[in-house]
Amino acid sequence: MNHLLIVEDDRALGEGVRLALQGPALEVKLCHCLADARVLLEGQSFDLIVLDINLPDGSGLTFLQQLRQDGGPPVILLTANDLETDIVAGLELGADDYITKPFSLAVLRARVNAQLRKAVSPARYAGEGLVFDFDRMEYFKNGAAVELSKTEQKLLRLLVQNRGRTLSRADLVDRIWTDGADYVDENALSVAVKRLRDKLEDTPSKPRFLKTVYGVGYTWAVKG
């Protein structure tokens, strides 16, 4: 399932867009200010953000700049600012698309789907002696092959594709164990994290990559 965040201060418009886009393959969350958006992004990963520019607690463009400092998901700007200079500024700051109000819900839906198709995360990661090919399910540490279970592969892919961001334990459990089980013991996540560290870290007790953010969850550290 894909996850979409809408940041729109017009409550009626935001709810209308949420209802139009929500579906079996897309979970949509709506917030009305940047402060609430930041809280959501701290605890959950999103595949796409639909972002208004003029918000009550700041500029969506400034927020976009902050997102791009850490990479961040694709962003569609949704705004009444329809001057060419506004559109160019948004795109140059890192927006992936720009839709002006008023707009057609059918067009918005098509553009959202187009971004989600393009937003397939890179299937390969290399750095610090580690090489992961997620499509081939091949994993190497210092040139030696590493065998990972299916759960460990899912956990690693989520963390690497969201590197530099903290994913909450609840979010990871929800996205790793997707077989419809009513209850998954969170200890299963702790076990998967420990096993992954044992296989990939030089010193598992002092991890360089898979770090714990106490009271929140885990992150794959960005080097540099």
Tens-digit pLDDT profile for residues 149-202: 999 999 999 998 888 788 889 889 888 887 555 566 778 999 999 999 999 999
Task: Express each pLDDT in 35-57 by its tens digit.
Answer: 999 999 887 878 899 999 999 99
CB 209 within 8 A of CB 220: yes
Distance CA 139, CA 51 (A): 36
* Residue 72 reports pLDDT greater than 60: yes
Q: What are phi and psi of 73, to 5 degrees?
A: -75, 170
Please measure the distance between the N-terminal and C-terminal CA atoms of the chain and give it in whole angstroms: 32
How would you classify the pairing of strands 48-51 and 26-31? unpaired
d(C-alpha 199, C-alpha 104), whole Å: 50
H or E segment and range at residue 51 = strand 48-51
Per-residue model confidence as pLDDT tens digits over 103-113 = 999 999 999 98
Beta bridge partners of 59: 54
**The model's pTM:** 0.58
Indicate the angle between helix axes 187-200 and 150-161, nearest 10 degrees: 80
pLDDT of residue 83: 79
Enumerate residues 6+ apart whose C-beta is below 8 A from 223: 127, 128
Task: Specify the fold of 2-118.
Answer: Rossmann fold (3.40.50)
Query: pLDDT band at residue 129, thresholds of 50, 70 and 90?
Result: confident
Q: What is the mean pLDDT of the chain?
A: 87
Residue 47 CB neighbours (<10 A): 20
Between 2.60.120.10, 1.20.140.10, 1.10.10.10, 2.30.42.10, what CATH number should domain 124-220 receive? 1.10.10.10
d(CA 109, CA 177): 28
Q: Under 8 Å CB-to-CB from 39, ≥6 apart: which residues?
A: none
Domain range summary for the chain, segments of one domain joined by +: 2-118, 124-220
Instruction: List beta partners, residue 79.
Output: 100
In three-state secondary structure terms, 133 is strand
- Strand segments, DSSP code E, in 48-177 are 48-51, 54-55, 58-59, 75-79, 97-100, 124-127, 130-133, 138-141, 144-145, 167-168
Question: What tokens were used for 208?
Answer: 């360089």
Q: Is 73 helix (H, G, I), strand (E, B) or coil?
A: coil
Provide the CB-side half-sphere exposure for 2 (13 A, CA): 22
